[in-house]
Structure formats: structure tokens, C-alpha cells
Structure 1
Amino acid sequence: MIVGMNHFTVLAEDPQKTLAFYVGLLGLREGPRPDLGFPGAWLYSDGAPSAVLHIVFGRALPAQRAGVIDHMAFSAQGLKAVKARFDERGVTYDLRRQAGAGTWQLFSHDPNGARVELDFDPAETL
């Protein structure tokens, strides 16, 4: 019945810091968003026909930030450059290789506390 993941939604406390993380650091781009009656942004990955991340601004954040969702994961490319960008900007992350498959996994938190995973092909090098 389910054929794929549509999008994640993040409630953002600080719009500028949130967009700096997802657009400036991770390379998503802002794109078309209908007037939903509240402020926000829809972010797209290169070549994606629909938004992969919806951000809502101005809504109260829940007391338990992470809720029941542990993290969101994106397939990524350019491990060496991404790692350098995180290092340049002083963004904390945990980089590891997945046992067995060898997939590189970079874990970080966005400015709102959402845990974000970037997965890189095992053939990439540092």
C-alpha cells in the first residue's frame, strides 16, 4: 500500500537558524509552498518533484522535543565535502560506518532538536 516517504515536518523555533541548517548546511532548497494560513517553508532536494521537508514557523514546540520519532534520514553524496562544511561551521556530528554494509552515517541535530541522519555510499572516502 505505501510506495514511499513523502515528507517530514519540523516545528521551528528560529526560522533563520533552521533554514541555515537545512538550506545553507545540508543543501536543500526552498521551493513552492501553498498559502496554508501559517508561516513556514517547503524544502526540496535537487531533482525532487515534491518537498521532502516541511518547516512550520511560529507554532509552540512540544515539551518533549523528539516525540516518538527518533530521527529523519536522507541519502546524501559528497561525504568529504559535507564533513568539511560541518567542521567549518562548528556543527557537532557523529560520523560512523554501518556494520556489515559499510554505509557512512553522519548524525547531527538541527537547531530545534530534530535528529538528522545523512547516509553516504560505502565507496566514498574521507
Structure 2
Amino acid sequence: MGIASLDHVNLRTTRLDEMIEWYCNMLGMRVGPRPPFPFPGAWLYVGEHAYVHLVGVETAAAGSETELKLEHFAFSANGLDSFEAHLKTNDVRYHRADLTAVDIVQLNVWDPDGNHIHIDFPADE
């Protein structure tokens, strides 16, 4: 067996609607098909793939309200200039890291629950 790629990230949240809106509006994802689980949630898609699975929970023990075990997750992307402009237009806090040693530009963002996400762009864009 050989691992080829990350399939999805599953995030528990007390802010399900806010998280759906953020991932759709900030990262351009869309809500798509999800099995009929007996708990609230959403699967967020890019193209035909559900990369982020959200699970709605009622207790405050989700996301940044507890000590996180996952430091970050990342996406590869293109369109650096337009994405950075989108973040600025929407007044989204982010940190840019130009990683010349590996030829990428990393834009670090945090969702409403405080989960750290970085979006990696080719440095030559």
C-alpha cells in the first residue's frame, strides 16, 4: 500500500452555518451530497471531491475551544493574486509566507473556529 493524497479533513464545530458560509465564501467551496448521517453536518466540495467534512456539535468542546491536536491542514491552489485580493476585500486576517527554498507562496488563514489552513501557490505565478 502507498498513500497517494489526503482525501478529506473532518472538523467538529458549534458554528456549523458560519463555517459553511466561510468555507464557501472564502475558499470557493460548495455544499454537496452527504450521506444521511444521524447528526448535523455538511460536506464541502471543490469540483467533484468533498475535501472538508463538517460535523455540527452542541457542546463547546469543538474547534479552538479545546486544545487542538491538529496544527494545520493545507490546500494547493492557483490564482495567488486574485485569492489574496479576495482575502483583503473581505478583511480576512492572513499571513503570507514566501518560501523560496521550495518555490511556493503560502497564504495562512484561520476559519471561524480558529483552525489554521494554508493555501500553497506556485511561486512563479
TM range, normalised to the smaller chain? Answer: 0.7 to 0.9
1:5-31 CA deviation, whole Å, 9 max, x = no partner? 111011122223212211111001111
Task: Please list every run of 5 or more consecutive structure 1 residues that lacks an aligned counterpart in the other structure.
Answer: none
Aligned to 2:101: 100
Identity %: 32
RMSD over equivalenced CA pairs, Å: 1.5
Aligned to 1:56: 55
C-alpha separation between the residues in 1 aligned to 2:15 and 2:29? 17
Shift of 1:59: 4.1
The structure with the greater share of residues assigned to strand is 2
The structure with the greater share of residues assigned to helix is 2
Q: 1:59 to 1:72 in 2, by over 3 A?
A: farther
Q: 1:96·1:104 contact (CA, 8 Å) conserved in 2? A: yes
C-alpha separation between the residues in 1 aligned to 2:54 and 2:40? 9
Shift of 1:3: 2.9
Task: Please list every run of 5 or more consecutive structure 2 residues that lacks an aligned counterpart in the other structure.
Answer: none
Q: What TM-score do you get using the length of structure 1 for normalisation? A: 0.87
User: What is the aligned length?
Assistant: 121
C-alpha separation between the residues in 2 aligned to 1:4 and 1:102? 20
The residue correspondences of 1:1-126 to structure 2 (distance < 5 A) are: 1=1, 2-46=3-47, 48=48, 50-60=49-59, 61-62=61-62, 63-65=65-67, 67-124=68-125
Q: 1:42·1:54 contact (CA, 8 Å) conserved in 2? A: yes
C-alpha separation between the residues in 2 aligned to 1:27 and 1:59? 26
Q: 1:11·1:59 contact (CA, 8 Å) conserved in 2? A: no
C-alpha separation between the residues in 2 aligned to 1:111 and 1:78? 23
Moved over 3 A (4+): none
